[in-house]
Structure 1
Amino acid sequence: MYHIKTIEGQLDSKGLKIAFVAGRFNDIIVDRLVGGAVDYLARHGCEKENMTLIKVPGAFEIPVVTKKLAESGKYDGIVVLGAVIRGATPHFDYVCNECAKGVAQVSLDNDLPIGFGLLTCDTIDQAVERAGSKAGNKGVEAASAMLETVRVMQQI
Structure 2
Amino acid sequence: MAGTEYTLPRAEFDKPVKLLIVVAPFYRDIADNMIKGAVAEIETTGGTYDLIEVPGALEVPTAIGLAEKLSNYDGYVALGCVIRGETTHYETVCNDSSRGITLLGLEGLCIGNGILTVENREQAEVRADPTRMNKGAGAAAAALHLIALSRKWGGQRKGVGFIPTPDEYQLAGSTEDTPKA
Q: Among 94, 111, 115, which residue is 1:114 paired with?
A: 111
Q: Which is richer in strand?
A: 1
Counterpart for residue 156 of structure 2:
none
- 1:134 CA displacement: 7.5
What do residues 51-93 of structure 1 show as CA deviations (whole Å, max 9, x unaligned)? 1101001101111111101223500000000000000111100
Counterpart for residue 56 of structure 1:
54
Query: Is the 8 Å Cα contact of residues 85 and 120 (structure 1) preserved in structure 2?
Result: yes
Counterpart for residue 44 of structure 2:
43
Q: Which is richer in helix?
A: 1
Q: Among 95, 98, 114, which residue is 1:97 paired with?
A: 95
What do residues 72-123 of structure 1 show as CA deviations (whole Å, max 9, x unaligned)? 35000000000000001111000010000111112222x1110000000000
1:12 aligns with 2:9: no
Asked which structure has the greater RCO (Cα within 8 Å, sep 6+), the reply is 1
Unaligned runs of 5+ residues in structure 2 are: 1-7, 154-181
Give RMSD over aligned pairs.
1.9
**Number of residues of Structure 1 aligned to a counterpart in Structure 2:** 145
Q: Distance in 1 between matches of 2:89 and 2:130?
A: 27
- 1:10 CA displacement: 6.0
Q: Which runs of 4+ in 1 moved over 2 A?
A: none
Q: Distance in 2 between matches of 1:9 and 1:150?
A: 14
- 1:44 CA displacement: 1.5
1:82 aligns with 2:80: yes
**More deviation, 16-25/130-139:** 130-139
Q: Distance in 1 between matches of 2:32 and 2:138?
A: 15
Q: Secondary structure at the match of 1:136?
A: coil
Determine what percentage of the aligned residue pairs are the same residue: 36
What do residues 20-55 of structure 1 show as CA deviations (whole Å, max 9, x unaligned)? 100021111011101100111101211xxx311010
Q: Secondary structure at the match of 1:65?
A: helix
Query: Which amino acid counterpart does residue 12 of structure 2 have in structure 1?
Result: D
Q: Distance in 1 between matches of 2:131 and 2:122?
A: 10
Query: Which amino acid counterpart does residue 136 of structure 1 have in structure 2?
Result: M
Larger radius of gyration: 2
Query: Is the 8 Å Cα contact of residues 33 and 130 (structure 2) preserved in structure 1?
Result: no
Unaligned runs of 5+ residues in structure 1 are: 1-7
